[in-house]
Structure 1
Amino acid sequence: MKRNVFLWSAWAAIPAVFSSLKAFAMPRTAKGFKVNAGDARFGVHYKMKGVTLNILDIKISGKDTDGDIAVFEQTGLTPNGGPPLHIHPQQDEWFYVVEGEYLFQVGEDKFQLKAGDTIFLPRNVKHAFLQKTQTGKMVVTYMPAGKMEEFFVVTDQWSSPPSKETIEAAFADHGMQVVGPPLSAG
């Protein structure tokens, strides 16, 4: 009988052990911090070469939040540009338009957004956006953080426009699935 109690107690403790290991592997930031306007959390401004010419600055890293959330500021430098229609199976996204105008597709619905507007994109729903103005700026939040920071490291390293297959592979390697072309301005 005591052996069974020991075995069940040991079995019940397994989630706590894994939880402790997760905290050890990716500790949550215990102290608040400020990221100044125009700066990135770790001083790196990522460019989404090949997909757009946009600049992405990490403001809150998944490393700060134990992977719960990542927040980027996206400076839009690609009029009539945007990512291909894609899905995030494991992440919700939230966008807040700071300046400029955008067209978003979420599922089959299309939305016009301008400065001050917010849009929520649930996981597993196809979506894309198109920058309608010469420049723009958005705050983009991923919940959970997933592999988005690593994705932008990859796109920043492209030195020439990548093939459709390279773009699809980069999306897939970082937890996303391309399901269609970018939105068009027409």
Structure 2
Amino acid sequence: MIDGAESGGGVALVEHPMDPRALAGPMHRHSREDEYSYVLEGRVGADLGGEIVYGKPGDLIFKPRGQWHTFWNAGDEPARILEIISPAGFEKFFDQITDLAATGRLDPPTMVSLAAEYGAEVDFESLPGLVAKHNLVFMDGPPPER
């Protein structure tokens, strides 16, 4: 929606549609940016360093830099969030991940390497527990093998 080039690097806005019961990704943390998820539609769950929170349309979920976190569609209907990233830059990671997934070239080592380029860490070992605990799916199937 808005990338860093349009905002002078201060902020990026990215819309994330999520299928029912979909986990957005494994636990991860950023070293460079804060993220705010504004719930537009549906019910969204988030693990914020071990604290589980839920948001409905109009709620804002804050994920500060340095905090392990993930989020998911906690309902049986589609959900959408507006991700506010400050400062901007990490939106390019989402673009690259989307492109790699579309071509079938996204795997855990590639995602970990790419995240590191953006100052982020990814914990793929968190996937089985998240999927089981919250009755979720990740990438249209079971968690990837490490």
Post-superposition offset of 1:91:
0.6
Alignment of 1:133-152 (within 5 A): 133=75, 134-146=77-89, 148-152=90-94
Gaps of 5+ in 2: 136-146
Q: Larger relative contact order (C-alpha < 8 A, sep ≥ 6)?
A: 2
- Equivalent residue of 2:83, what SS? strand
CA offsets, 1:110-165, max 9 Å, x none? 1011222111111101100111223111110011012x232122112222263221
- Equivalent residue of 1:63, what SS? helix
2:116 to 151, 161, 172: 172
TM-score for the superposition, normalised by structure 1? 0.62
1:87 to 29, 40, 44: 29
CA–CA distance in 2 between the matches of 1:73 and 1:153?
Answer: 12
Q: How many matched pairs?
A: 127
CA–CA distance in 1 between the matches of 2:31 and 2:98?
Answer: 23
In the superposition, relative to structure 1, how do residues 161 and 102 fare at CA in structure 2: closer, same or farther (>3 Å)? farther
- Equivalent residue of 1:123, what SS? coil
Contact 1:151–1:174 under 8 Å retained in 2: yes
Larger radius of gyration: 1
C-alpha RMSD of the superposition? 1.7
Instruction: Give % identity.
Output: 28
Counterpart of 1:144 in structure 2: which amino acid? Answer: P
2:143 is matched with none
In the superposition, relative to structure 1, how do residues 162 and 61 fare at CA in structure 2: closer, same or farther (>3 Å)? closer
- Equivalent residue of 1:124, what SS? coil
1:61 aligns with 2:3: yes
CA–CA distance in 2 between the matches of 1:172 and 1:69?
Answer: 20
- Equivalent residue of 1:167, what SS? helix
TM-score for the superposition, normalised by structure 2? 0.78
